[in-house]
Amino acid sequence: MITTHVFGFATDAEPRRVWSALTEAAHTRRYLRGVALESTWTPGARVVLRQGDVATGAGEVLHAVVAERLSLTIDGGHGPDTYLTWTIRPVGVGSVVRLYVDQPGGAIDEVEVEDHWLPVMADLYALLAGAEVR
């Protein structure tokens, strides 16, 4: 069984700027609590999660269309992979950004998932708005 959680927001940032925030390690570490994502961002490419100089996890790019959609798996070493899909839809002068978090393994604590991903979304939104990120 797979449980899917969906988070989203609207931003004035254009889709290419959102894509940059999702794929450049210097940006990802700002909203992923110090974790930089490193990859070539092409389907099948390895994703390395790095905190400072230490690799803390890995994954794989499943799907990548610049400024539209990015799907990847993340294995942080704590059970089955988590599947993340970011979608970016242009709207007016900005974008609608959605994150789909798919977690295999049956019953997942909704509060725990929200406690982890809502701050990530808030910090990504702040980064795109040019505000200070915690």
**133 confidence band (pLDDT: 50, 70, 90):** confident
Structural domains in the chain, CATH included, are: 2-129 (3.30.530.20)
Q: pLDDT tens-digit profile of 15-42?
A: 999 999 999 999 999 999 999 999 999 9
Amino acid at 17: R
Range 108-117 contact pairs with CB under 8 angstroms and sequence separation of 24 or more: 108/3, 108/5, 110/5, 113/5, 114/5, 117/5, 117/7
Residue 44 burial (CB count, 10 A): 9
d(CA 30, CA 23): 12
Q: What percentage of residues in the chain have a pLDDT greater than 70?
A: 92
Say if CB 100 and CB 14 are below 8 A apart. no
d(CA 81, CA 3): 12
Whether the per-residue pLDDT at 106 is higher than 60: the answer is no
**101 confidence band (pLDDT: 50, 70, 90):** very high
d(CA 33, CA 47): 17
